Chains A and B, each alone.
Chain A
């Protein structure tokens, strides 16, 4: 099964700055996702990272705030731009090869990036 390395694992940032989170998968996968997890709340999908094209964002998330890159089938980055304290959260990278409903492989997750904005 795929192993996902995500970094940094945590960071404390100043208001107004930007941080780029990296996600590396040890095998080629068709689908990569970025989630936000806040305490006491469910995982919220930010976007699907598409290889070679613009990411597909969910309602409430925009490219200017959360630019995403996916240059190949094993790597993606999420940037949290112009950060404010409301962006303090855990950001999770996820990957699956094929359609989750039909794939023999489950959806894999990185260990997350714990982000605090001062």
Chain B
């Protein structure tokens, strides 16, 4: 069975500082990996995805994520955090074979302090 772990329920960072939101996955075969953001009272919005190719994936709003196969990780990063980045972030994974249904992590609340 596939699983996604987001070890931090909450991440606090000061505006202007770099941020990292962690994600590790467990899927059979090669993974397809996704990050979504959810603002209050809104649905999830797609940020970026990794399918194959470069390990560093760039997405919306200046976010990027690094795929690390040996560590089975797909951490979300941004060089300089904004207060408006404060939201709930979800990592998701799908195996290359088998079910096309993604497995989501528990979500990490990012709080950027002014």
Q: Which A positions have Cβ atoms within 8 angstroms of B?
A: 4, 6, 9, 31, 33, 40-43, 45, 48, 92, 94, 99-101, 106-112, 114
User: Chain B residues near A114 (CB, 8 Å)?
Assistant: 41
A-B interface contact total, Cβ < 8 Å: 54
Which residue on chain B has the smallest CB distance to residue A96?
B100
Least distance between A72 CB and chain B CB atoms (Å): 21
Query: Is residue B106 contacting chain A, with contact meaning CB distance below 8 A?
Result: yes
Known: A107-B44, A109-B43, A114-B41. 7 other contacts (CB 8 A): A42-B105, A45-B101, A100-B94, A100-B102, A106-B46, A106-B49, A112-B42
Least distance between A40 CB and chain B CB atoms (Å): 7
Asked if residues A109 and B51 are in contact (CB atoms below 8 Å), the reply is: no
User: Chain B residues near A41 (CB, 8 Å)?
Assistant: 106
